[in-house]
Structure 1
Amino acid sequence: MLFPARDAGTGPHRHGRVGWQHLAFAVGSRADVDRMHAVALAAGWTPVRDPKPYPRFTDRYFASFVESDDGIRIEFMHNPPRDASS
């Protein structure tokens, strides 16, 4: 379980404000991104961005984002190394 670090009465974190934005977990495949996204949704987390490629990061970047009721955002990402022959 994760708990936000904040002063009493300050409310949950809001994306875009100064401070911790999200926690990213690297996984072994695109299928793992899909699977972890589904697990998070089944646990009651809110989808922020469904699994998809993010070519603005790299041509191999594939990720999803979910968020808890407390504003904790989690990213599941797969960004394999560029093939050595490229």
Structure 2
Amino acid sequence: MARVVVDVMLKPEILDPQGRAIAQKLPQLGFDGVTAVRQGKRFEVEIDGEADEAALDRVRKIAETMLANPVIETFDVRVL
């Protein structure tokens, strides 16, 4: 069994109000020097067998179909 991580992030040109709100609040909490924050999602997918290229392709297809909105988000697939 292998565990594959899918990180989903908004594309850079898409506004991120949640990330912006966090970045604006950080100095009030004593965290200076942070210029921007982008929020995202992380999924951990357990698969049977090895995390070979065929399995990773299958997880990429899952991410494309269900985990990310390819119009506004990008995703990265990696073995944990």
Higher share in helix: 2
Give the TM-score of the pair, scaled to structure 2.
0.29
Computing the radius of gyration from Cα coordinates, the structure with the larger value is 2
